[in-house]
Structures are given as C-alpha cells and as structure tokens.
Amino acid sequence: MAVKRTPFIAGNWKMNLDHLQSIAFVQKLAWSLADARHDFADAEVAVFPPCTDLRSVQTLVAADSLPIGYGAQDLSAYDSGAYTGEISGAFLSQLGCGYVIIGHSERRTLHGETDADVNAKIKAAHRHGLVPVVCVGETAENLEAHGPSAVPVAQLRAALEGIDGSKGLVVAYEPVWAIGSGQAATPAQAEQVAVALRGLLAELVGDEVAQATRVLYGGSVKAANIASFLREPNVDGALVGGASLDIDEFSSIIRFKKHVGA
C-alpha cells in the first residue's frame, strides 16, 4: 500500500538563539516561505527553539497564521507538581506546540536519559496532544559492533512500548557519529535504517500507522545534501541542527524541491 507522506523539515536549534533572535529568525523564515517563486505546498516546516523562545514564536505564528510548526526540544514525563526545572507537556500545548523532540542523543548522553525515560515522555506528549519526534541513533562504536540498524531498532522498540500509535509520532534517525561532525550518513545508509524502523513500526503499531509515520534523517544535513536524502523512498524529511540556525542555509534546505529539480 503506497501512502503519500508529507515531507517534514524540522530545525532543532538546540541551545541557540534567544527569544529576540528567535523573533528575527521566524520573521525571515516567514518571508522565505512566502516567496512566490517557490512551492512549499508539499513540505511541512517546523522549528524547535529553546523553551524560553516558544511564547515569542507562538505570537508571530498566530498573528499571521504562518505555515511554520513549532515544538519544544524536550518535556517532562510528569504533568505538574514538584519537579523543579521541568516543563510540562500541558504548558507546551498551551503555547500551541504541535510537536516535541524526545530522546535526542544529546539528552541521552549528556543528561542520562534512558529508554524508559523516553517511553514515559512519549506517553506524556500523547496525553497532551503533542506529536513526539522520537530520536534514535547509533554511536560509531555501535555501528562497528552491531551494524547500522540494530541499536536504532532496539531504541525504538523500547521507546514505543505500550504506545498508542494512533496518537501520532515522527521518528528521527540520527546517527550519533553524524551529528555536528560534517560527516553525514550516505542516503543509502539512511534508507536502510529507515526501512528497518518502518518495519518495526508495522510490527508494533500496525502497518497503517507505519506507512503514515514520517521517518526523518538527521546528522550534518545541509542544502547541498538534503535532496539526496529525500530521494530515498523511506526518508521523509530531515531533523536539521547547525544548518537550521543559518536562515539562508535553512531556506535553501526547505527549497529541496529545487535541489531535486521537481
């Protein structure tokens, strides 16, 4: 069954751009999206700013009904209470977030997030109507020891335990060795893992949800390589880090149709 999945181009700003800078960036992105010379009808664009920027982004997006989605880079597994420093999914929903990144490798490595934490956070996102962008990916050591798919597949299996797939999700395959290194995976590698992840989705949440779920590639994506990833049938977009902070580069990435010549 062939299902058309809308390509998703997501910018993960990480801990960059304060709320004033986010306003300038979103305004420029809106101008770029409004550029009549380009057809964005087939792509969905979203940004993931620091939490302190979300209110500013919401105000801009809502004021002009901008075709820009947005979300947070993390959320609490809890809904409210004595959890100092945590941000509830309820608050993110109130700010109009549609998405939330969960289980980014930087959270796993630098903040000790486990598969169980990722699972609990996906459930929290679903409780509050947020679509989780679930990140999985292997280290260079994992790649050498187990090949490309084993670790991402094991992470996704653990992440999705007991999840209701009908509540929506996006999966982002981000090899740790490709993040911020300038050395992206090859499109064939990304496709191979995306196929394995979609196969697992079919097993866990059913074929219909698996076919509808966007599987993104992330790791050193830039304007020069985006089209090569999007040509792969199972790669449905990109989670972009460094290149999403440069308005010219990000604008060029979201014009991927130009790169593929469509």
Ligand X SMILES: O=C(CO)COP(=O)(O)O
For the question of residue 174 being annotated catalytic, the response is yes
Residues 175 to 204: which contact ligand X by CB under 6 A?
179-180
Catalytic residue, chosen from 113, 138, 174, 232, is 174
Compute CA 33 distance to the chain's CA centroid, rounded to the nearest angstrom. 19
How far apart are the C-alpha atoms of 227 and 255, rounded to whole Å? 9
Annotated binding-site residue? 242: yes
For the question of residue 104 being annotated catalytic, the response is yes
Cβ(172)–Cβ(136) below 8 Å = yes
Kindly write out the interface string for residues 25-64 of this chain, putting x where it contacts ligand X by CB under 6 A and - elsewhere.
----------------------------------------
Stretch that binds ligand X, among 53-61, 143-151, 206-214, 240-248 (CB under 6 A): 240-248
Q: Is 239 in the site for ligand X (CB under 6 A)?
A: yes
Annotated binding-site residue? 241: yes
Q: What sections of the chain are H helices per DSSP?
A: 19-34, 54-63, 89-94, 105-110, 115-127, 140-146, 150-159, 187-205, 207-212, 226-230, 247-254, 256-260
Q: Is 74 in the site for ligand X (CB under 6 A)?
A: no
Cβ(68)–Cβ(26) below 8 Å = yes
Closest CA to 138 of 149, 123, 129: 149
Catalytic residue, chosen from 104, 106, 126, 191, is 104
Catalytic residues: 104, 174
- Per the annotation, where are the binding residues? 12-14, 180, 220, 241-242
Residues lying near ligand X in the complex (CB under 6 A) are found at 12, 104, 174, 179-180, 218-221, 239-243
